[in-house]
A and B are shown apart, each in its own frame.
Chain A
Amino acid sequence: MRDSAAKDLLRGFLGTLVAVALYSVAGAGAPALLIVFNAFSVIVLYFSIRRGEVFGALFGTMCGLVQDTFSLGIFGVAGLTKTLLGFWTGFISRRIDVGPFTRKALFMLVMSVLEMALWVLITAVVRLESVNLHGGLIFLQPLVTAVLGSSLFAAERRIKARSSRGS
């Protein structure tokens, strides 16, 4: 039990490092890319579907707080939205079939849209002002997240299939 918790903690930390690395690569490549690409959301969705709601919630907390640290927004807002994203993604994915690529993509799209709506709502309430939507470009973020998230699973499946054929 303690061994598995320590492994999960390590997995969570390494996952967060991967998210920070992806976000840094995107920022170094093209700053405008960060408006449509949220590496933290992609990683939280991926791990939540794989590991379930408890891991998803804790991992969402970790990733969200790191995202908040690298932003001038209110500390804790992304933490809260990512926690809820991780929990509900893990919870729902255990109760419905999200196996096929398109179904998984659609499920991730719905969850990303809900996360963004919650983030906009909380930011508006806490800061008492409207959120900068970058001319509507920000609405592409859930779509990009869903496509990248489901592509991760597709790539993983293909690699596994290839390695099992090879052995």
Chain B
Amino acid sequence: MSFWDNRRSALVLVGLTLFHVLLISVQVPLGPGKSLFEKAIFFVFSPVQRAVTGTVRGIGSLWKGYFDLRGVRAENEKLKRQVFFLNQDVRFLEDRLSFAHSEAELRASLTEFEGSLVVARVIGIDSTNPHQAVVIDKGSLDGITRDMAVCDRTGALVGRTIAPVSLKESMVQLVTDKDSSVSVQSVTAGLVGSMTGQSKDVCDLRYVLASSPVGSEGEELRTTGFDKIYPVGIRVGVIQSVGKDAASPIFRSIVVKPYFDFASLDVVAVLTKGPGGGA
């Protein structure tokens, strides 16, 4: 019996443990950036996710299609698609109108979004915490790069694209992720702050000074564009509660309820010409 045969199990365990400790040590200073190794694994396994989700959805729609009237269903799908685009257009027009100061500014900002929507399907959800990220079925071949804003059916902000971006799949960091940060402004009181996630279904509005005007519950928040990732004026959510920040008395503690509904997040729109990745 050789040394290897006697201690094979122990050597494998020690080797793999050291490998992982090294991997974690490399990843910590790397922060949100993705290593080539991680990108490669995503590249190999994300098509599997895409195929399985597509099959499940396909079986589901086949089942529905069997019972529904085929013609009505097809027409309904077409109308849904049209409504989706019209909703997005209306939202952007409303947002642009409310933020633009002159006609020239309005024209400039409207042309900015022409042909900039890529419709994508959600094919996967974060394996550790569903409130952190989703995987969509559009990638670099569809013009997707990092830091593009992603909205839901109603035009409300969902998050942004992050690495890894594969050929036909990419990852989206949700605004509810604890490492997410969006510069927002309340519509009525004009409170400006940074909305960060809690990896739950609600977010925090941070860095709002206690001396600033009191925001009211139910007040809408929109993106300011200061972060150079999200275009200005996208609806984000509403203020759920306002209180005193026990940890830091100079700031308010504000809880925000995002607009996007996590449970019904199936189709999203990626803004490819925003100030982020598309710029």
Contact = CB atoms under 8 A, between A and B. Distances in A.
Given A21-B52, A23-B49, A132-B200, 6 more contacts: A23-B127, A31-B262, A66-B45, A69-B42, A71-B126, A84-B17
Interface of B: 8-9, 12-13, 16-17, 19-21, 23-24, 27-28, 32, 34-35, 37-38, 41-42, 45, 48-49, 52-53, 56-57, 123-133, 135, 164, 171, 173, 177-179, 198-200, 262-263, 265
Contact of B57 (A20, A28, A126, A132): A28
B180 to A, nearest CB: 9
A34 B130 contact: yes
Give the bracket for the number of chain A residues in contact with chain B.
35 or more
B27 A76 contact: yes
Given A77-B24, A83-B20, A20 B128 contact: no
A114 B34 CA distance: 28
A107 interface: no
In the A-B complex, list the 7 residue pairs whose CB atoms are closest, starting with the nearest.
A76-B23, A80-B20, A24-B52, A71-B128, A27-B125, A76-B24, A70-B127
B17 A83 contact: yes
B172 to A, nearest CB: 10
A78 B126 CA distance: 13
B130 A31 contact: yes
B207 to A, nearest CB: 19
Given A25-B52, A28-B56, A66-B45, A79 B20 contact: yes
Interface of A: 16-17, 20-21, 23-25, 27-29, 31-32, 34-35, 38, 40, 53-54, 57-58, 61, 65-80, 83-84, 87, 91, 122, 126, 129, 132, 134
B130 A71 contact: no
7 contacts: A23-B49, A27-B53, A27-B125, A32-B263, A57-B13, A69-B41, A132-B178
